[in-house]
Structure 1
Amino acid sequence: MSTVLSESPSVSHVSHVSPISAIPAVHAVEAELNYLAPGTPRPVNYTFEPPEGTPWQTGVLEARRVTIQDARPLAQSGELRLDRQGFQLIAHRSALNDFSDDERIRNIYYPEAEALLRATTGAAKAVIFDHTLRDSAQGSRANAALREPVRRVHNDQTFVSGPRRVRDHLNAEEARQRLSRRFAIVNLWRPLSEVEQLPLALCDARSIVPEDLVASDLVYRDKVGETYSFLANPQHRWFYFPRLRPDEALLLKIYDSLEDGTARLTAHTAFDDPETPDHAAPRRSIELRALVFWE
């Protein structure tokens, strides 16, 4: 049976919804993913260089070897949906070819992505509130303009911080109205060149239970946000898209206000693919985080 994640992380609310569909044997790899070790105190992660003597991040990580299935056959069959597994592959070529200019990203890519999110989800409104460029060769956690891939299992928001984002980015009256109806936070993830190393692993939302989630502090210069770290669970079902191309993009469910069996979030992480060729090109990607609202 699948489990619906409760609004309160301390409460397990199990809902009888459709079981996970049987998936035929497909190509898969065995790889290690970095989970949070059991018993670890609430992790803290900094988005900027922390004060002297303070670590960039706390929390003991525990590598677990898992099977990660090729999700392309699932996507081609039409079984893969954002509201079911918590992620979805879409075919889309951006009008922007050069992502080195922040102004062009905001002026060209943001409006394009907002229209794409509305068309794909059926939402009435999309509001992009930030983006992150990543490069596995040149990126660094110390460089806000160009980050490195994240190699730990996580989700970008929690059931507490999701609604906060609405209040952060809308005026008070619109936020009040939008919070009374369904809304979600969706990550639009796109490679900037064909992915040869450090692909993204994505967890089927239906295989996640509330006990897997550990709220973690994300420290900005002006506030403290919340993300989820994850404890290992042998029931987790992991997928990836080999050699993802720039004319393809992924939608990741980060938060959803619905509590009816719809996927409310997923877990994701970069991982070392054992099939990565020698001298593989660095992984370059951009991710947009957006609020999406339905009427």
Structure 2
Amino acid sequence: MSTVLSASPSTSQASGVEAELNYLAPGDARPVNYTFEPPAGTPWNSGTSDPRRVRIHNARPLAEAGEISLHRNGFQLVSHRSALKDFSDDSLIRLVYRPEAEALLRDITGAEKVVIFDHTLRDSANGSRANASLREPVRRVHNDQTFVSGPRRVRDHLDAEEAERRLQHRFAIVNLWRPLGVVEQFPLALCDARSIAADDLVPTDLVYRDKTGETYSFLANPQHRWYYFPRLRPDEVLLLKIYDSLEDGTARLTAHTAFEDPDSPSNAAARRSIELRALLFWAPDHDTR
């Protein structure tokens, strides 16, 4: 079972922290990020970083009060304990973790069908952007899909007939993020979807060895309202809205980034986490368009 609340008595009264987040500076060229070591002379990430010091509010009190939800704010905290203890075995992740994640997403969102299309392990001490099986935390403000690449994902992962049928009704993409130990460093900062403006979004190429995807980078905006959940535990997961086809005021996406927490102890344990991305489809009678 899962519940939509979680508390940490030692931190739930903290108001938040001041920290630096890495936005993208305005520019004319389309940004490009590589998922593998690029050719000699080509940077991993193009575009100029625009670091901004912002207030990142403690979201736990709001979550406890039921004032944060996936479809209103673009993210949500859920209490859920996984049956899987060893995340080092990819076959067990697929056999145990993915099915329970599918069930959790159906339970929380009411989706009729869930299709998980990837998962990523991260480790702030041992991960590397050059290692596809163990990545480092991403410290750039971003969103994993765009309004162009979202529908493309449906066609990538369903047969043609079902894809066209599903695209006629509501669907979404959600990132389910779980820490594999208590988060003491590089927590996730999450931006309230209601504070994001269309002009903040910058389509960005994400280059794989066999294809080029598209994500959003973000320009700085003083209206952005940032949150985090201090000391997340392995029995807690974050749901992040990556894409939603609805255009009725529902949160269509959010921005997120790992950040250097000034409250992290000097001997903080490395941040280890697993995230998976899933397509969510609702039945036609759920469609509000």
Name the TM-score, length of structure 2 as normaliser. Answer: 0.93
Distance in 2 between residues matched to 1:217 and 1:39, nearest whole Å: 15
1:211 aligns with 2:199: yes
Q: Is the 8 A contact 2:27 2:47 kept in 1?
A: no
CA distance in 1, matches of 2:31, 2:78: 33
Asked if 1 retains the 8 angstrom alpha-carbon contact of 2:115 and 2:279, the reply is yes
Supply the RMSD in Å over aligned alpha carbons.
0.9
* SS of 2:71 mapped into structure 1: coil
- Equivalent residue in structure 1 for 2:124, among 106, 131, 136: 136
Tell me the matched-pair count.
271
3-state SS of paired residue (2:17): strand
Query: What's 2:73 paired with?
Result: 85
Name the structure 2 match of 1:189. 177
Task: Output aligned runs, 1:157-172, within 5 Å.
Answer: 157-172=145-160
Residue 40 of structure 1: how far off its partner (Å): 5.2
- 1:41 matched to which residue of 2? 29
Q: Which runs of 5+ in 1 are unaligned?
A: 1-24
> 3-state DSSP class of the match of 2:135?
coil
Gaps of 5+ in 2: 1-12, 284-289
Aligned residue number for residue 265 of structure 1? 253
What CA deviation, in whole Å up to 9, does each residue of 1:227-286 have, x standing for no partner?
000000000000000000000000000000000000000000000011111110000000
Of 218, 228, 234 in structure 2, the residue corresponding to residue 230 of structure 1 is 218
Deviations 1:198-250 (A, max 9, x none): 00000000000100000000011111100000000000000000000000000
Report the counterpart of residue 85 of structure 2 in structure 1: 97
Contact 1:40–1:59 under 8 Å retained in 2: no
Q: Which amino acid aligns with 2:15?
A: H
Deviations along 1:94-145, one digit per CA (max 9) or x if unpaired, are 0000000001001110101000000000000100000000000000000000
Deviation, structure 1 residue 39 = 2.0
Cα displacement (A) at 1:56: 1.2
Does the 8 Å CA contact 1:155/1:254 hold for their aligned counterparts? yes
Can you list the C-alpha shifts for 1:69-96, whole angstroms capped at 9, x where unaligned?
Answer: 0000010000110000000000000000
Deviations 1:9-59 (A, max 9, x none): xxxxxxxxxxxxxxxx96111000000011252110111111222111111
Letter in 2 for 1:49: E
The equivalent of 1:19 in structure 2 is none
Q: Which stretch shifts more, 56-65 or 198-207? A: 56-65
1:284 aligns with 2:272: yes
Structure 2 distance, partners of 1:41, 1:35, is: 16
Aligned residues: percent identity? 78
